[in-house]
Amino acid sequence: MTKVEKIKNQIKNGKTCLGIELGSTRIKAILIDEEMHSIASGSYNWENRLEKGVWTYSLEDVWKGLSSCYASIKEDIKKNYSIIPKFYRAIGISGMMHGYMAFDKNQKLLVPFRTWRNTMTKEASEKLTNLFSFPVAQRWSIAHLYQAMLNKEPHVKDICYLNTLAGYVHWKLTDDFVLGIGDASGMFPIDSQERMYNRNYIEKFDLLSREYKWKIENLLPRPLKAGELAGRLTFEGARLIDREGDLEAGISLCPAEGDAGTGMVATNSVKPKSGNVSAGTSVFAMIVLEKKLKKLYSKLDMVTTPEGWPVAMAHANNCTGEYDQWMSLFREVIEVTGGSISNEKLYDCLLETALKGDNDCGGLLNYPYLSGEHLTNFTEGRPLLVRKANSNLNLANFMQAQLFSSLCALRVGLDILFNEEGVKLDFLTGQGGFFKTKEVGLKMMASATHTPCRILSSAGEGGAWGIAILASFLNQNTDLGTYLDTKVFKASKSSLIEASSENIKGFEKFYTRYKEGLPIEKAAIENL
């Protein structure tokens, strides 16, 4: 039997697992076989919109994107294996982390979806952090809810359900109001011993919401651990995914997870002392802890792995978004002169020039703040490139400054873990668009974190592959870490890069300049 015939039989007999992730700029689907290999893929590009000061996507965007993405992978399967898929062993849904989706008793969305990118919840975040003695990030669902309460928003009294994007899609596909514990930990703090929402914090929040008829625990989806059955695809859910009507109902779904959880899975970083960094539109590092942190740090999130183990998370809102726009400008320059270039070559050529720059970017200073950045205390952003008259402005330094600056806010959070808490890691595992030109991305990340960085041979699959792996983990008689080691990554290869002392010194010089120059960013926001 040929490889194609073997895969075709697995698809036909419902032995494959499907993962779909609704990321910030792309919805992606991956189909994996019984050996965990990606055998088909599909995608749909989309963008958030800034409407009345809120970063959002419409529900129409969600369902159009989901069905278009599925149509794309369905066509890929048909093209390569001459078969139309009707059933899968399991499906997993993942989405951009946290945010705020509030629904009434009829499951109608009360206000536009407020994504993780919004930074309008500073007051609520700080008050809840003080109340709980536990860090509550601005993008968390509970911070958005409390800010709406503080603002006396009229919709609050009508809330019957709160959810994340992944949880919402899962809910509509299965009619089960549940959520993976990793994503749930960004809605409301989780007790890692009980694997449920923290009872003490529930009681404290209920005192804040006495004027409303609801109780916070009743608004939240029930947390589930990786491996637990989270419902089955309904007939209506199947039609939401596959508008042509070929997909059958009854397929098992794993707990929906956020992109942070799928990133941990895709990089085999779910056990204590492991760490991963996901870098794309935003950038975040996830460090699985051996023990509790010594004290509260408002700049760090405390979330969990998909099994509920505690994780310290440093998250920055801005990473590649600004230099992506510069890449578009450079493409225009090439095209207006009569040239043409592929997207892959454009990125590879320009990013590789960064390795030829002065170690400290020649005195250039850059802030890639398309939106606010809580790690440096900004609720809005103004992208800036600043230099002195005698700074060494050339393409190599420009590109290096773009890359270095995209990691500086992350470094603010990691400094707490490495310097204050003495957390030690053998290496960080990277994934995301930042690492596509992998030698460049790995070297920049290693320089910024003082930690060797690696990328796995499977890293290009990303979160959609990660949630497909979680779908395959349903009903397995082992823990997730062992499953990943023995079943998923046993033969995986990796590339490891360490930064030289000169690379590290250069980044430190740039990082110092970056912190000293933050008043420039503040002035830009105040005057532009």
* pLDDT tens string 500-528: 999 999 999 999 999 999 999 999 999 99
Those residues whose C-beta lies under 8 Å from the C-beta of residue 363, and which sit 6 or more positions away, are 387, 388, 390, 391, 392, 513
DSSP 8-state code for residue 154 = G
**Dist CA 146 CA 159 (whole Å):** 12
Closest among 99, 144, 102 to 122, alpha carbons compared: 144
Q: Is 100 exposed, middle or buried, given 0-12, 13-18 or 19+ CB atoms closer than 10 A?
A: buried
In this structure, what are the phi and psi dihedrals at residue 27, rounded to the nearest 5 degrees? -100, 125
Residues of the chain with CATH 3.30.420.40: 98-163+178-220, 268-528
**Dist CA 133 CA 114 (whole Å):** 25
Host H or E run for residue 51 = strand 49-51
pLDDT at 458 over 80: no
DSSP assignment of 302-319: EEE-TT--EEEEEEES-S
Query: C-alpha angle 450/452/456, rounded to 5°?
Result: 145
Tell me the mean pLDDT in the region 18-31: 95
Host H or E run for residue 18 = strand 17-22
pLDDT at 394 over 70: yes
DSSP 8-state code for residue 517 = T
- Per-residue confidence at 494, pLDDT binned at 50, 70, 90? confident
Report the pLDDT value the prediction gives residue 381, as an integer from 0 to 100: 95
Give the up-direction half-sphere exposure of residue 200: CA atoms within 13 A in the CB hemisphere.
8
Host H or E run for residue 356 = none
Q: Is 362 left (phi over 0), alpha (psi -120 to 50) or beta?
A: left
Distances (CA, A) of 336 to 66, 330, 331, 332, 351: 36, 10, 9, 6, 21
Report the pLDDT value the prediction gives residue 311, as an integer from 0 to 100: 93
**Dist CA 263 CA 431 (whole Å):** 7
Structural domain 1-92+230-255, CATH architecture: 2-Layer Sandwich (3.30)
Report the pLDDT value the prediction gives residue 147, as an integer from 0 to 100: 98
Range from 137-141, 366-370, 376-380 that averages highest in pLDDT = 366-370
- Per-residue confidence at 460, pLDDT binned at 50, 70, 90? low
Q: Answer for the pair 369, 383: CB distance below 8 angstroms, yes or no.
A: yes
Tell me the mean pLDDT in the region 419-434: 88
Note the CATH number of domain 268-528: 3.30.420.40
**Dist CA 124 CA 110 (whole Å):** 20
Report the pLDDT value the prediction gives residue 491, as an integer from 0 to 100: 78
Report the pLDDT value the prediction gives residue 410, as an integer from 0 to 100: 97
Tokens 């895969």 label which residue? 7
In this structure, what are the phi and psi dihedrals at residue 429, rounded to the nearest 5 degrees? -105, 125
C-beta atoms surrounding 193 within 10 Å = 9
Helical pair 501-516 and 518-527, crossing angle rounded to 10 deg: 40
**What CATH class has 98-163+178-220?**
alpha beta
